[in-house]
């Protein structure tokens, strides 16, 4: 039995090792990237409107983690994506999608628990009750479970085949108007 629990920034920061365990199991990243990822996550916990859900087994072990925050100018992802959308689709589109947005930064489910509705429940749970106009995120631009799941929730493509500065993998930037439709 998996339950969802909202986790405050302080607890999220204290339990970053557990968060990284889920992230590592789900994403299988190169090990030399983990300390940098941990620092980025710690920094994210201080962003305004931070919200986090843990999906936990009955003994309290996290098997899923999702978090996001209110996007603001000065945040790296926000500034890069806003500029790119403005260049491709115009300033009005950039303002419309990113001017008042919940930015979903990370959503991961341990492989042993994937395909059971945990990811869907975490995304809808994070969006529920938010006052922002939109929710936005980036994900690898490939036919993944994540891409399928976001589309089925109502996310649309804002940018495709997008390469972040300093990166090489291609991402899709997605957005949905809040509140989510039933």
The site for ligand COA (CB under 6 A) is made up of 26-27, 107-109, 114-120, 139, 143-146, 148-149, 152
Min separation Cβ 91 and ligand COA, Å: 26
Enter the tokens of residue 69: 């925050």
Residue least distant from ligand COA (Cβ): 119
Min separation Cβ 149 and ligand COA, Å: 4
Choice between 90 and 117, CB closer to ligand COA: 117
Min separation Cβ 60 and ligand COA, Å: 19
The DSSP code for 62 is E
Backbone angles phi, psi at 171, to 5 degrees: -120, 155
The residue whose two tokens read 């968060």 is 19
Choice between 10 and 167, CB closer to ligand COA: 167
Min separation Cβ 112 and ligand COA, Å: 10
Beta carbons within 8 Å of 83's beta carbon, 6+ residues apart: 94
Strand order in the sheet with 51-56: 3-6, 51-56, 62-70, 101-109, 134-140, 171-177, 156-162
Choice between 26 and 53, CB closer to ligand COA: 26
Choice between 118 and 127, CB closer to ligand COA: 118
- Measured distance CA(129)–CA(82) in Å, rounded: 24
């Amino acid at each position: 039995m998996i339950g969802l629990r909202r986790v405050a920034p302080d607890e999220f920061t204290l339990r970053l090792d557990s968060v990284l365990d889920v992230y590592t199991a789900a994403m299988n990243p190169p090990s030399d990237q983990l300390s940098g990822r941990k620092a980025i996550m710690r920094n994210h916990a201080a962003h305004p409107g931070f919200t986090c859900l843990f999906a936990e087994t009955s003994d309290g072990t996290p098997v899923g983690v999702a978090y996001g925050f209110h996007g603001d100018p000065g945040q790296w992802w926000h500034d890069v994506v806003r500029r790119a959308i403005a260049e491709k689709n115009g300033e009005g589109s950039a303002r419309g999608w990113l001017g008042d947005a919940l930015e979903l930064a990370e959503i991961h489910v341990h492989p042993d628990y994937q395909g059971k509705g945990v990811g869907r429940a975490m995304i809808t749970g994070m969006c529920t009750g938010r006052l922002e106009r939109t929710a936005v995120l980036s994900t690898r631009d490939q036919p993944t479970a994540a891409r399928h799941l976001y589309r089925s929730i109502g996310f649309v493509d804002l940018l495709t085949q997008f390469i972040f500065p300093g990166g090489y993998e291609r991402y899709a930037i997605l957005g949905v108007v809040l509140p989510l439709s039933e």
